[in-house]
Amino acid sequence: MVDTAALRARFRSETGADPEGFWYGPGRVNLIGEHTDYNDGFVLPFALSQRAVVAASRRDDGQLVMSSLELDDRQHIALADLRPGTGGWSGYLAGVAWALQQAGHRVGGATLVLSSDVPLGAGLSSSAAIECAVVAAFVDLYGLDIAPMERARFAQRAENDYVGAPTGLLDQAASTLCSEGEGLFMDCRSLRTTPVPLDFASQSLELLVLDTKTPHSHVDGEYGARRASCEEAARILGLTSLRDVEDLSAALERLGDETLRRRVRHVITENERVVQTLELARSRRLEDLGPVLDASHASMRDDYEITVPTVDLAARTARAAGALGARMTGGGFGGCIIALVRLGAAEAVARAVERAFADAGHGPPEWFVATPSAGAGRLTG
């Protein structure tokens, strides 16, 4: 939980006044649908209870003054001086003001004091959490009229165009549009979203999120290579995107290259698994989700080749320790796994992974039980 009293105290010490309000954006975990977003496919994330919170007030001097409690740092820049690529952590905040300005929204200066309990760099989108919190703050502070999906797009623009990190809309859409107790099925072509009930506890289940703490390496290059393979396969098949593959075996036959075949098989079967997950969630049969999660992991490991040994070890150990299913979540090459377990079993499963990591000479993982939570907004009370 973010300590809002500490945020208020820091805000007061910086400005001599209370903030006009507190706004939050949650981290997110992708339940299923990995590397499907840039293929116009399907994803099904949900928002976490871990969030970034900003204490914020308007300023009339055209300055953005930004502090982070975790980094114990303070940065400032004039709105008039915002330029893409002005790096560092404050780019995730300043980029939002820049994106809003670019679109012609009338925003002024602000003091923004940030604190977040979303694990940083674990693939749980601490970056989108910040962006979406800051969008929510500007919308309220400056009375902007921006529809929810558009808000997510401004957050994405901050990350893609200002910070310079190429990501799909998944993170920001989840952080903006999710509701408590629900996931969000999203069609990445039409951007149509459908809320999905994800009441794990009432089905006597819980979802463990375990951060392997494996440092990501070569992520950008590998990500680019996967995207390029998908584009090449779509071109060979004469399709706009892999989303349009109707007959998987016919498509595989037409692709001469074995690597391309495997990449396509992952994308198409992963889309099918997202739809299966949607149906299981809707019919409140999450208990049957285990094999779908396992199949997703195998597909990422064998066909898309985006897992690493520690992640495979974590998923395998979780299953052996009684999880109904487990998969890597996020872009790959490290990061987190999720494991579906019986209510109350998360700790035992996490301990088993801890032991396996110790035996293999890895540092300890971190873990928590995920709670599907509300998307970005203003904190009340």
Q: How far is the CB of 159 from Mg ion (least distance, A)?
A: 7
Q: How far is the CB of 279 from ligand ADP (least distance, A)?
A: 29
Is beta strand 63-68 parallel, antiparallel or unpaired with respect to 73-78? antiparallel
154 binds ligand ADP (CB under 6 A): no
Of 37, 40, 117, 171, the catalytic one is 171
In this complex, which beta carbon is closest to ligand ADP, that of residue 123 or of residue 372?
Answer: 123
Amino acid in position 312: D
In this complex, which beta carbon is closest to ligand ADP, that of residue 119 or of residue 290?
Answer: 119
Q: How far is the CB of 232 from ligand ADP (least distance, A)?
A: 27
Q: How far apart are CA 354 and CA 106, in angstroms?
A: 51
Is 171 tagged catalytic?
yes
C-alpha to C-alpha distances, 340 to 207, 352, 374, nearest whole angstrom: 5, 15, 21
Residue nearest to Mg ion (CB): 127
Burial 32-60 (b: 16+ CB within 10 A, else e): bbbbbbbbbbbbbbbbbbbbbbbbbbebe
| Sites for ligand ADP among residues 129-148 (CB under 6 A) | 130
DSSP letters for 67-119 = EETTTTEEEEEEGGG--TT--STTHHHHHHHHHHHHTT----EEEEEEEE-SP
Q: Annotate each residue in 64-83 with x if it binds ligand ADP (CB under 6 A) or - if it does not, as one string.
A: ----x-xx------------
In this complex, which beta carbon is closest to ligand ADP, that of residue 120 or of residue 298?
Answer: 120
Q: How far is the CB of 370 from ligand ADP (least distance, A)?
A: 15
209: Cα within 13 Å, side-chain hemisphere: 24
- For residue 26, the cross-strand partners are 51
123 binds ligand ADP (CB under 6 A): yes
176 binds ligand ADP (CB under 6 A): no
Q: How far apart are CA 257 and CA 138, in angstroms?
A: 49
116 binds, among Mg ion, ligand ADP, none (CB under 5 to 8 A by kind): ligand ADP
| Sites for ligand ADP among residues 81-120 (CB under 6 A) | 89, 92, 114, 116, 120
In this complex, which beta carbon is closest to ligand ADP, that of residue 127 or of residue 307?
Answer: 127
Report the sign of the C-alpha dihedral through residues 370, 375, 376, 380, in that order.
negative
126 binds ligand ADP (CB under 6 A): yes
The footprint of ligand ADP on this chain (CB under 6 A) covers a number of residues equal to 16
Contact (CB, 8 A) for 264 and 252: yes
Give the footprint of Mg ion on this chain (CB under 5 A). Answer: 125, 127
Q: How far is the CB of 323 from ligand ADP (least distance, A)?
A: 23
Q: How far is the CB of 124 from Mg ion (least distance, A)?
A: 8
Q: What is the token pair recorded at 163? A: 């910070």
In this complex, which beta carbon is closest to ligand ADP, that of residue 2 or of residue 278?
Answer: 2
Is beta strand 109-116 parallel, antiparallel or unpaired with respect to 63-68? parallel
- For residue 210, the cross-strand partners are 337, 367
Can you tell me whether residue 50 is helix, strand or coil? strand
In this complex, which beta carbon is closest to ligand ADP, that of residue 290 or of residue 330?
Answer: 330
77 binds, among ligand ADP, Mg ion, none (CB under 5 to 8 A by kind): none
Q: Which residues bind ligand ADP (CB under 6 A)?
A: 68, 70-71, 89, 92, 114, 116, 120-127, 130
Give the residue numbers marked as catalytic: 171
